[in-house]
Amino acid sequence: AQSVTQPDIHITVSEGASLELRCNYSYGATPYLFWYVQSPGQGLQLLLKYFSGDTLVQGIKGFEAEFKRSQSSFNLRKPSVHWSDAAEYFCAVGHSSASKIIFGSGTRLSIRP
């Protein structure tokens, strides 16, 4: 069955510190992978996506993610977080022949001043 797991429900990091949010997926074919962010009171916004090619992808707001097929992971990273990064982050998986994108349960990120 297709699934996306985000093992960390809530993470708190200090402003300026590095960040890594974990995402693992189970998918029967080569996946298309995404990270979305949901800021308080706002809709979800695409941060970045991986379809093929270079396994390290760059996104908006200074985020990047690395696809590791052997680990079925697509972890999101940022070298230095800002207070404005506090939000809920969702990993998602889809496929070109599928009509839906499956989302994980989300990781809530808090920033410590």
Partner 1 sequence: GAGVSQSPSNKVTEKGKDVELRCDPISGHTALYWYRQSLGQGLEFLIYFQGNSAPDKSGLPSDRFSAERTGGSVSTLTIQRTQQEDSAVYLCASSPLTLAVNTGELFFGEGSRLTVL
Least distance CB 32 / partner 1 (angstroms): 5
Instruction: Pick the binder of partner 1 from 12, 14, 18, 45 (CB under 8 A).
Output: 45
Phi, psi of 35 (to 5 degrees): -125, 130
Q: Which of residues 1, 28, 40, 42 is near partner 1 by CB under 8 A? A: 42
Residue 96, CA distances (Å) to 7, 25, 29, 50, 85 in order? 26, 16, 10, 12, 30
Instruction: Find the binder of partner 1 among 13, 102, 109, 111 (CB under 8 A).
Output: 102
**In angstroms, how far is CA 19 from the centroid of its own chain?**
11
Q: Which residues within the stretch 11-40 sit at the binding site for partner 1 (CB under 8 A)?
A: 32, 34
DSSP-derived 3-state class of residue 39? coil
Catalog residues that contact partner 1 under the rule CB under 8 A: 4, 6, 9, 32, 34, 41-46, 49, 51, 90, 92, 94-106
